[in-house]
Structure 1
């Protein structure tokens, strides 16, 4: 894979006064802003390698594409930057309602995106913070690799294998049904399990095998329609894992659908 993040080029010979000023200005800027400027200035980097080598994952009503999108060095850089930039929710926004009961979310969460966007699930309404420089770079890379544009990202941080995500479907009404959900994984590799809705419980339960993937550091999973109609997914507890993981699920929210999805309390 071509280099996605480049180092500043070394200058041969002595430095001029202009060079010194430029270096001082760079030192004053957040590292994420410098990273974004380098990305935008390098034409070779902007030509993201096409096509991405996808692995197709299919089952009854399940359609996903999986790829290693970033090299280890690139993924390491993004993980470090997100640890510095992302502001996670606190207080009531860390709780969800399930069948009338309130539970604490077993991981950290944050939402970023275009102005005015909000994501609602399990009785929680999460407003989007403005995109950070690093999130914009990752979002643009996902767009170039998939051909889809995204205006919102939900970030989940798992401190270790005890943090997890229960079975659910990303089928909220404000999501654009024509756009897949793009899931970028950074940090510890974790198991990701799909289970068909007809295989969960009830008298008419069917024998449909679950689909399990290990989402690697720097990987991209594209969940295409109609996956979220028929399949639940989860990130189970894995107590042997001691290191953190950051997951970014890029989505496209339709504002008109968003207004309809938020009911007055």
Structure 2
């Protein structure tokens, strides 16, 4: 299982103050399942870089068969610390039926805290439960706008998961609900404890899997942004497994664009 680690924060800070022009890295899982990394100067392909992103932070490309992701450190440690504290004060997490999930007809308590925020009137249904969007808070608007400025994509909804420690987790799933705009990536912002994040191809899951495809394993750092582009959620499941050695909390925000039936 291959592991990808984000770039150092010093490189991120240098990019933000304009003192250097950041190199972009590309990580690709080749047919032999080894991750190959190459650096290239944006001046060599400046038009392509500008077309992809509106703000030039040091992006790293993660690719495999049917998997297309971009990873970067979006916030400095100081800013990420501030946003984490602000979210701890502002976010109200779901209780009751919205704190449960339905799997194969059975209802379970979600092994983490969860909340949904977004534009007025938006709803999002997954795992058999309809979730309503609470109004944006100040911190959520700030993070959303930073993601939009960086990626060039707009988002009207965010799903927030709070993991109290490494015992809280998320099982394998795909974000492929019908309400999601297929043309918009899902932007995942991580604050707090660094956690392992694992992609598994749909054809390589379970004992009756039809193919031998190695999982892709990432470590999502404090202040990082993972952009899951199409067709990633068509072919790859992702999960956040239990890590007993992690003793501090993590907040993850996945920004999405919801399309209501009247808009389709």
Sort the TM-score into its range (normalised by shorter chain).
Answer: 0.7 to 0.9
Q: Aligned to 2:68, which of 63, 66, 91?
A: 63
Q: Deviations over 1:139-170 (max 9, x none)?
A: 00000100000000000000000000000000
Q: Is 1:148 aligned with 2:149?
A: no
- The structure whose residues are more often helix, as a share, is 1
- How well do the aligned residues superpose, as a CA RMSD in angstroms? 1.7
Residue 124 of structure 1 corresponds to 129
Q: Does the 8 Å CA contact 1:98/1:122 hold for their aligned counterparts?
A: yes
- The structure whose residues are more often strand, as a share, is 2
Q: Aligned to 1:245, which of 224, 239, 250?
A: 250
Q: Does the 8 Å CA contact 2:55/2:151 hold for their aligned counterparts?
A: no
Residue 59 of structure 2 corresponds to 54
Q: Does the 8 Å CA contact 1:157/1:247 hold for their aligned counterparts?
A: yes
Q: TM-score, normalised by structure 1?
A: 0.78
Residue 210 of structure 1 corresponds to 215
Q: Aligned to 1:87, which of 80, 92, 95?
A: 92
Whose radius of gyration is greater, 1 or 2? 1
Counterpart CA distance in 2 for 1:164 and 1:172 is 21
Q: What SS does the corresponding residue of 1:78 show, helix, strand or coil?
A: helix
Q: Is 1:229 aligned with 2:231?
A: no
Counterpart CA distance in 1 for 2:55 and 2:205 is 39
| Long gaps (5+) in structure 1 | 4-48, 261-265
Q: Is 1:174 aligned with 2:165?
A: no
Residue 199 of structure 1 corresponds to 204
Counterpart CA distance in 2 for 1:184 and 1:204 is 31
Report the alpha carbon displacement of residue 255 of structure 1 after superposing the two structures with TM: 1.2
Q: Does the 8 Å CA contact 1:193/1:210 hold for their aligned counterparts?
A: yes
Residue-pair matches, total = 215
Q: Deviations over 1:15-55 (max 9, x none)?
A: xxxxxxxxxxxxxxxxxxxxxxxxxxxxxxxxxx9312100
| Long gaps (5+) in structure 2 | 1-12, 18-53
